[in-house]
Amino acid sequence: MVWLILSTAAVISMWVLAGLASLQAARTARTPQGAIGWVVFLLSAPLLALPLYLIFGHRKFSRYRDTRQKADKILNALRVYSDSHTQDRDALPLNEAPFERLAGYPICNGNRFDLLVDGPAITEAMLAAIREASDYVLVQFYIVRDDNHGRQLKDALIDARNRGVAVWFMTDAVGSHGLSTTFRRDLEKAGVNLVDPDTRPGPKHRFHLNFRNHRKTVIVDGQIGFTGGMNIGDEYMGRDPHYGRWRDTQVRLEGPVVQQLQLGYCEDWFWLTEDPILDLLSWECPKVSSPGKPALVIGTGPGDPNQNGSMMYFSAISAARTRIWIA
């Protein structure tokens, strides 16, 4: 009899939790499709759906929104600066409004881009910029490995610290879970600012396994930026026999758009550490010598009110006039 009562109570509790989770999913899902999917899944198979919803169902972290609010001063300065560096709207080949709405600030002119293809070219350009750094270096990768490629980056950062250059370094807790303690300790001994893996938010402390940060960003002195798809590991250099040749792309940026890339780094750093670094960085980045190009950085993440990544692609495809290249 007691067993029957307990079983009945457990079933009732499960359905109550499934119902509450369904209401939460319907209220917070970013898309109607997502809301319907979770509601149907939770109500049809609560025993399986509830633990999955706890892990994958949460949509955003409030601290991302808090960071963006605390960065208002810099954001406003960036908007003013971008306004003053935005080329004549009539000269733009597309309607800029959808992209500027997603980013939160206007397209800025006077930028230069160098497309870097494959690991060796990317690494050579990135390490050269770090070696020329005079003020600070910001580094962020989803994956960093303690192998030949990783130690190249580590040595360059330690050399920068020895020259008196400030360095901030962060990785994703899941993507770089195998990064050795020795690797981190060497950076820490050199005075590199690191995120403490024992205190950082993430799946270690809460059910937010899906909140991964896949950004790959290097910023030097607020003047040069790198972003793209390459992580730090020998496989990205084509050295892993299992993967063989690895194809990737990175872009080297110069001009006012680097400030927008830098703001995204500051938001991620604050979310992980609650340590504001906005006032420690340079926020004046002059236009490159003519002819410069218009540019805009659109960051995506759990703080977005909408699906910024998908909407950016849709906006770009809709704006196309002569061709669309998709890789």
Cβ proximity of 79 and 69 under 8 Å? no
Q: 62-319 sits in which CATH class?
A: alpha beta
**For residue 103, how many other CB atoms are within 10 A of its CB?**
18
| Average pLDDT of span 179-205 | 80
List the alpha helices (DSSP H) in the chain: 2-28, 32-44, 46-56, 62-70, 72-84, 97-103, 119-131, 148-162, 181-189, 257-273, 308-319
Parallel/antiparallel/unpaired status of strands 193-194 and 166-171: parallel
203 confidence band (pLDDT: 50, 70, 90): very low
Question: Could you tell me which residues come within 8 angstroms of residue 254 by beta carbon, excluding any fewer than 6 positions away?
Answer: 111, 112, 113, 223, 224, 225, 288
The ranges assigned to domains in the chain are: 2-56, 62-319
Q: pLDDT per residue over 97-150, tens digit each?
A: 888 888 877 888 889 999 999 999 999 999 999 999 999 999 999 999 999 999
Report pTM. Answer: 0.79
Q: Which of 29, 21, 23, 9 is nearest to 45 (CA)?
A: 21
Residue with the two structure tokens 């690895």: 246
Sheet of strand 166-171, all strands in order from the earlier edge strand to the far edge: 193-194, 166-171, 136-141, 217-220, 224-228, 249-254, 108-117, 293-295
Average pLDDT for the chain: 81
Is residue 136 a contact partner of residue 167, using CB atoms and an 8 Å limit?
yes
pLDDT tens for each residue of 215-242? 999 999 999 999 999 999 999 999 988 8
For residue 80, what pLDDT band results from cuts at 50, 70 and 90? low
Which whole number is the average pLDDT over 287-302? 81
What is the C-alpha to C-alpha distance for residues 7 and 3, in angstroms, rounded to an integer?
6
- Non-local (6+) Cβ contacts of 8 within 8 A are none
